[in-house]
Structure 1
């Protein structure tokens, strides 16, 4: 077996699979890139050839236009592509629509590069699939024991109870434009909320794209042009930056909410003026990180970004070799850390 550390290495551009000649989620323009999902810290503009799922490519085109890559190739989940002596396939990561883990097989060894992922169910995207491997490359956004995400239905229930308790107020929820907004809408529909959901203008294009790609979201309306009285008792979604400025103050006595794994930290909610923190994350929590590592069974785990020190320490106690890659640029989405 040729150990993955001999053919998968860290470069200034990002993680590079040498025998295939491809970078995975490179942070600078490269000739050939494999993109795990459409968030801006993983999908950068300016690459030559881009390989991803069809949904991720559609998201990249919507966000970047011509910058989405000179040449684009869609690869379906489970389909194998040979790049020289490397067999490459994509499997679901459960993070957002189209998100994928990258499975690389070369020299009798298998590496699994997760990108970002979560293990909780999400009606808007395919669920994470664990793949046995020799090296698992994982994120560690919430790699501290304090981060244990509650069931999302529980948090949606808290939101709907607040709406019922304050029927004259507008509930405005700060959420990331890609993935989180659409998941919240789908969770609300599952919980029985069939009224229109109102959107800040910046969230509308990606919600429309999700609908075009087959994700049902129900009736959505633009909040920016709505009469103040029409938003009384309504649920409004907006980017985190909008709930902190004058845009939110035009709403009817708003109940400011934020949907993020970081809402587990009360001080963070207080600093953001959040009245109703909702612990809903699109990343794996502490327990799910450890469960995933146990399921894939890799004797060696590489950590791309996040709380790598805590995770590497926990792995050592379990007899697993951990290595921090310190990949620069990952985990730096344009909405900031509250996007998680």
Structure 2
């Protein structure tokens, strides 16, 4: 009897807890993406709602740690431990490895095993091809913890190159006007640049100063972005007919007044919602997202084959209902402190500074 109990595979809800600090892996003594400073943190990626300062020990991919250092400086935390994709580390009574999430540079899913039970915590992820980061890797598991930022059937993202084609068409149609695109500093900016290059746009791309540090970091990690120039110090005539990328907050700021009759664009999955575009004064909405859309979320549940899913931030109820209808046990975790794609910003750096916004 005691031997049978000893070899029993404990259900993950017995060893993974939702605490005020975030998702706690009890047998390992660590939190995943904690929202408050903790002793041990495993961080999925560098966006500010997942990577927060002040933790004593931080485990993440080398790229994520580099992003955190660039954005946070000395406040990044105490000891920083890099873990490459595919490497396995023993932490307490668990084994931990990181698998690519396809969200931004360095983004990872956290694969945790404990006494024969495997849980995968996705962090944020997407399934589209992206030249700037490793593609999402489906990992079979007992419980899959998934985001649901765009977890409603209405959210079906169009092809990325078709959206970039709209921007290039507008540039050709209004060659005398500047085009300023609101785009987040980490991930979205670099991805948009590589999409433009793939579509044949080989002219210089001008950057607001808040976007430059992370573009330099991406280049250090081997991501080719082509010729980039500083829009902040450019003369007004230089920006006539130019393509300028800036944080979303800067697009509505007085900084943008120096542009020549600008066409205002915004790259975000939320541009599918016309009211959001109108509220931001966006003339040219571009539906380009770094999160999985509804179809991709549903496909991912099939790909990982987990008999149970836990849904975190986003439109939890619809995905829970979808999974339940297909015989998958599902529940919402209702974690607090995670934002949607439009809200992941570093306070005080919306329109300038070195941090910028997330994706």
After TM superposition, the score normalised by the length of structure 2 is 0.93
Contact between 1:263 and 1:278, CA under 8 Å: does it hold in 2?
A: yes
Which stretch of structure 1 is more off in the superposition, 247-256 or 123-132?
247-256
Alpha-carbon distance, 1:339 to partner: 6.0
Aligned to 2:307: 299
Which stretch of structure 1 is more off in the superposition, 243-252 or 93-102?
243-252
Contact between 2:23 and 2:31, CA under 8 Å: does it hold in 1?
A: yes
1:283 to 291, 305, 308: 291
Aligned to 1:133: 141
Contact between 2:142 and 2:306, CA under 8 Å: does it hold in 1?
A: yes
Determine whether 1:214 maps to 2:225.
no
Q: Any stretches of 5+ residues in structure 1 without a counterpart?
A: none
Aligned to 1:309: 317
Determine whether 1:193 maps to 2:204.
no
Q: SS at the partner of 2:28?
A: coil
Q: Deviations over 1:43-85 (max 9, x none)?
A: 0000001000000000000111111121011000000001122
1:236 to 244, 255, 258: 244
Contact between 1:241 and 1:335, CA under 8 Å: does it hold in 2?
A: no
2:345 to 326, 334, 339: 334
Q: Deviations over 1:261-282 (max 9, x none)?
A: 0000111111111010000000
1:9 to 3, 13, 17: 17
Q: SS at the partner of 1:229?
A: helix
Q: Over aligned residue pairs, what C-alpha RMSD do you find?
A: 1.2
Counterpart Cα distance in 2 of 1:101 and 1:88: 10
Matches within 5 A, 1:154-173: 154-173=162-181
Contact between 2:48 and 2:358, CA under 8 Å: does it hold in 1?
A: no
Q: SS at the partner of 1:19?
A: helix
1:67 to 59, 69, 75: 75
Counterpart Cα distance in 2 of 1:148 and 1:247: 33
Which stretch of structure 1 is more off in the superposition, 281-290 or 213-222?
213-222
Aligned to 1:270: 278
Alpha-carbon distance, 1:232 to partner: 1.3
Counterpart Cα distance in 2 of 1:248 and 1:311: 39
Q: SS at the partner of 2:217?
A: helix
Contact between 1:172 and 1:237, CA under 8 Å: does it hold in 2?
A: yes
Matches within 5 A, 1:106-121: 106-121=114-129
Contact between 1:176 and 1:335, CA under 8 Å: does it hold in 2?
A: no
After TM superposition, the score normalised by the length of structure 1 is 0.98
Aligned to 1:100: 108
Aligned to 1:153: 161
Counterpart Cα distance in 2 of 1:151 and 1:107: 42
Which stretch of structure 1 is more off in the superposition, 312-321 or 137-146?
312-321
Which stretch of structure 1 is more off in the superposition, 79-88 or 119-128?
79-88
Q: Any stretches of 5+ residues in structure 2 without a counterpart?
A: 1-8, 348-356
Counterpart Cα distance in 1 of 2:218 and 2:150: 27
1:174 to 172, 182, 185: 182
Determine whether 1:252 maps to 2:263.
no
**Large movers: runs of 4+ above 4 Å:** none
Q: Deviations over 1:201-222 (max 9, x none)?
A: 1001111111112111111111
Q: SS at the partner of 2:297?
A: helix
Counterpart Cα distance in 1 of 2:22 and 2:257: 41
Which stretch of structure 1 is more off in the superposition, 94-103 or 64-73?
64-73
Aligned to 2:353: none
The count of residues paired between Structure 1 and Structure 2 equals: 339
Counterpart Cα distance in 2 of 1:304 and 1:267: 25
Alpha-carbon distance, 1:335 to partner: 6.6
Matches within 5 A, 1:49-68: 49-68=57-76
